[in-house]
Structure 1
């Protein structure tokens, strides 16, 4: 899918799961994003980091197709991305299995195939045996696991074209663990990394937590305060513990500089 608007710069999408070039977004007199360039490779885990109100969620909504840029270009090599939000947003009247199965049913996948995939996905997020429970019977962490399985059902399905060849799958995550307690959040971060390595999907993960970004991402992308633009990037994948702590400190300092410069403007 390609969305091209006035003032856009056309660039090929070869080797990318998603590419944004010169993306602007305005809401009336407010400019939320200004000239964002971002390229995410197939299978890459990228964390978008920035202060509250910097446009992280706006950017994610544009990639997801939930909003359109005011100018610039968006290119996707996958089908429609799957999105996971802060809240699990499960259908309360459906079982956990039925929630996971829903995007497959809407996509016209056969009953036998979607049942099979649902069992596989619930097992992948370590929820085998709870498919018959409804959301109110599950803990907050378990509901987020169901939401992850549902997002994967959508992402991995749309990542395959009608000819059966595989295109890059893309999972967009908007601070999905922020409402959870610290212990549950740590567990689900580890689970997300395990699931990501198992599926090979590209992930764009929005957070305001520097430590979370460094722990999860292969690359951390820092956005400026509004209007959001990319100001710096760090390669952070597989850092030793000592370097991880140092990198967290460096990024925290740079984030404080970005916030301070905005406050002084």
Structure 2
């Protein structure tokens, strides 16, 4: 069976959690300036799971940092219609002196949530990521996969908390499973999909792994080699079996073409 992939390049949306229009990013100035992004147009709907795919150095992380507010575009426009974006990195980046529960509770404390409410929310989030009962342990007592679950719960605590609950949550993930072994990675991918479906958060997930992108995303967005720009998009939600394998093959081939054209330039 051959998968029919819908090209999502002209996908119309009337609502968005985040929208980027003509976003450029250059590091440095003049002849020594390095262009990381060159006119990125991207829109993510509330509750949508979008995977950003591209070769190493294509600007995926730079784009995520701009959406997170950790960096500013050199040109173009960023519009957020969401709660403050929460970010999950390759490393769990937990506070080693805090327990798992205290790490999850931290963004709620910084947001001024009352002690009783933040403890209640923390317990719910730890249960959501299947870590109920380990809230009292410190990071060094947990496995790598468990630490990433704590990091996910902490990101959800930040993303799902707004002053009035009226704005859709937005979760930004920068290759969060890349440092894990294959079995743990597979388990956490399944867990992430379960958590995403239960929370309704919009997710922008950065990866260079086509199989991971097709498995997780509803839409895969391919960036060119540096300077990064959107070169193609595909709707991949609900694919399985032979269709999923065909989609992986099609996107892999397109990724190789993008990389080869850059190397030949």
**TM-score surpassing 0.5?**
yes
Partner-residue secondary structure (3-state), 1:103:
helix
TM-score by length of 1: 0.93
Instruction: Work out whether 1:215 is the aligned partner of 2:215.
Output: yes
Instruction: Work out whether 1:138 is the aligned partner of 2:129.
Output: no
Deviation at 1:240, TM superposition (A): 2.5
Instruction: Work out whether 1:129 is the aligned partner of 2:133.
Output: yes
The 8 Å contact of residues 65 and 80 in structure 1, kept in 2 or not, is answered as no
Deviation at 1:253, TM superposition (A): 0.3
Moved over 3 A (4+): none
Deviation at 1:78, TM superposition (A): 1.2
Partner of 2:183: 183
Partner of 1:95: 99
Deviation at 1:165, TM superposition (A): 4.1
In structure 2, C-alpha distance between the alignment counterparts of 1:124 and 1:226, rounded to whole Å? 38
Give 1:86's match in structure 2, choosing from 81, 90, 93: 90
Give 2:119's match in structure 1, choosing from 115, 118, 138: 115
Instruction: Work out whether 1:38 is the aligned partner of 2:13.
Output: no
Number of aligned residues: 249
In structure 2, C-alpha distance between the alignment counterparts of 1:99 and 1:220, rounded to whole Å? 31
Deviation at 1:247, TM superposition (A): 0.4
- Alpha-carbon spacing, 1:83–1:165, altered in 2? closer, same or farther (3 Å): closer
TM-score by length of 2: 0.93
When structure 1 is superposed on structure 2, of 43-52 and 77-86 the one drifting more is: 77-86
Instruction: Work out whether 1:15 is the aligned partner of 2:29.
Output: no
The 8 Å contact of residues 83 and 160 in structure 2, kept in 1 or not, is answered as no
Partner of 2:240: 240
The 8 Å contact of residues 101 and 122 in structure 2, kept in 1 or not, is answered as yes
Instruction: Work out whether 1:151 is the aligned partner of 2:180.
Output: no
In structure 2, C-alpha distance between the alignment counterparts of 1:94 and 1:206, rounded to whole Å? 28
Tell me how large the CA RMSD over aligned residues is.
0.9
When structure 1 is superposed on structure 2, of 72-81 and 215-224 the one drifting more is: 72-81
Deviation at 1:14, TM superposition (A): 5.3
The 8 Å contact of residues 44 and 201 in structure 1, kept in 2 or not, is answered as yes
- Stretches of structure 2 lacking an aligned partner (at least 5 in a row): 1-12
In structure 2, C-alpha distance between the alignment counterparts of 1:113 and 1:149, rounded to whole Å? 16
CA deviations 1:138-194 (Å, max 9, x no partner) are 00000000000000000000xx33xx3421100000000000000000000000000
Partner of 2:59: 55
Deviation at 1:241, TM superposition (A): 1.1
Deviation at 1:80, TM superposition (A): 1.6
- Alpha-carbon spacing, 1:79–1:165, altered in 2? closer, same or farther (3 Å): closer
Matched ranges for 1:249-260 at <5 A: 249-260=249-260
